[in-house]
């Protein structure tokens, strides 16, 4: 076991379409190749950066799919940062975002094997989205996450519970069906497209239900606010980490768990929502 790290990136230009991360600057080395000295991936990091049209409201979420013989994963769907743009005016605005979504993992690898990571722009087509993924092999801190899965949906109606059913290229997968006995961490995120002139604030709530939960409970979780924009000239773009809950919820393997999201109290536009189950 020897510490090592590698990354790939891509400029994704299509909504809800697999964009293979195969580049490193001007080079295109292609798939990740697991070092022959590696035993596991101990950390994953994902970042995004957008090049959007001026004077336009945008919102998006992101996901990354890890597949291939070099990794031992059943689902391999990890969520990236979210983005809310309360307009990008040509003459004024904050276009910066310096956020990395991090996961501490314990994913076994096959030394010498290969795997690929595909990035997905979800919610709304923001134009051009730079997506980057980094893997760390055999780091000094070993996490507990061995796999991850997620669902997404648009929240367009205020005070209405909406079921998250989609994944990847907007494929309707229905409820989550855990393949391991413990949800160790939950991740929630919202990338909102704010209605121009809506100066209100909303918060977001999520809830879990279904036969896949071993114990009865409320299972309600919150995500922070979206602030409405008064004009398109009041430009600001925020790239955000997901809301993380360390939970260790026991579940029934193969049974369904429904995830629902809600835009609370005030309708500020469309909220592109995601929820990820990280399995221990």
Residue 83, helix vs strand vs coil: strand
Q: Is the per-residue pLDDT at 217 higher than 60?
A: yes
Q: Which residues contact 114 (CB under 8 A, 6 or more apart)?
A: 31, 32, 33, 34, 68, 69, 70
Where is 129: in which H helix or E strand?
strand 128-137
Task: Identify whether the C-beta of residue 267 lies closer than 8 Å to the C-beta of residue 204.
Answer: no
pLDDT in tens, 233-251: 455 778 899 999 999 999 9
Higher pLDDT, 194 or 92: 194
pLDDT in tens, 93-127: 555 567 899 999 999 999 999 999 999 999 999 88
Residue with tokens 């001007």: 26
Q: Is the per-residue pLDDT at 72 higher than 60?
A: yes
Determine the Cα angle at 218 with ends 217 and 224, to 5°: 145
Percent of the chain at pLDDT above 90? 76
Among 31, 29, 47, 34, CA closest to 4: 34
In terms of pTM, does the model score above 0.85?
A: yes
Q: What is the pLDDT at residue 127?
A: 84
Task: Identify whether the C-beta of residue 49 lies closer than 8 Å to the C-beta of residue 262.
Answer: no
Q: Which residues contact 62 (CB under 8 A, 6 or more apart)?
A: 46, 48, 79, 80, 81, 82, 83, 119, 120, 121, 122, 129, 131
Q: Which two tokens stand for residue 224?
A: 């922070």
From CA 195, how far away is CA 209, in angstroms rounded? 31
CA terminus-to-terminus distance, the chain:
22
Q: Which domain holds residue 114?
A: 4-279
From edge to edge, which strands make up the β-sheet containing 128-137?
A: 4-12, 128-137, 40-51, 101-108
Number of domains in the chain: 1
Q: Which two tokens stand for residue 91?
A: 């003459």
In terms of Cβ atoms closer than 10 Å to its own Cβ (0-12, 13-18, 19+), residue 27 is exposed
pLDDT in tens, 130-172: 999 999 999 999 999 999 999 999 999 999 999 999 999 999 9
Rg of the Cα atoms in the chain: 19
């Amino acid at each position: 076991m020897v510490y090592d790290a590698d990354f790939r990136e891509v400029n994704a230009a299509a909504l809800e379409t697999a964009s293979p991360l195969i580049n490193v600057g001007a080079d295109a080395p292609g798939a990740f190749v697991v070092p022959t000295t590696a035993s596991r991936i101990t950390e994953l990091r994902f970042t995004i950066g957008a090049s959007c049209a001026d004077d336009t409201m945008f919102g998006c979420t992101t996901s990354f799919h890890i597949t291939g013989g070099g990794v031992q994963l059943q689902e391999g769907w990890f969520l990236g940062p979210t983005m809310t743009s309360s307009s990008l005016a040509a003459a004024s605005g904050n276009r910066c975002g310096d956020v990395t979504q991090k996961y501490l993992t314990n994913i076994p690898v096959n030394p010498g094997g290969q795997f690929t990571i595909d990035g997905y722009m979800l919610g709304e087509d923001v134009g051009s989205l730079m997506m980057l993924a980094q893997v760390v092999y055999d780091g000094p801190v070993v996490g507990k996450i061995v796999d991850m899965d997620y669902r997404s949906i648009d929240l367009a109606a205020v005070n209405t519970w909406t079921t998250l059913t989609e994944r990847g290229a907007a494929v309707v997968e229905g409820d989550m069906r855990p393949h391991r006995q413990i949800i160790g961490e939950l991740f929630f995120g919202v990338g909102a497209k704010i209605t121009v002139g809506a100066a209100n604030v909303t918060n977001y709530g999520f809830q879990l239900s279904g036969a896949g939960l071993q114990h009865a409970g409320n299972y309600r979780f919150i995500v922070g606010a979206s602030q409405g924009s008064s004009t398109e000239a009041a430009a600001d773009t925020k790239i955000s980490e997901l809301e993380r809950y360390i939970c260790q919820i026991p579940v029934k393997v193969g049974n369904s768990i429904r995830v629902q999201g809600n835009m609370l109290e005030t309708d500020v536009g469309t909220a592109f929502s995601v929820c990820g189950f990280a399995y221990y």
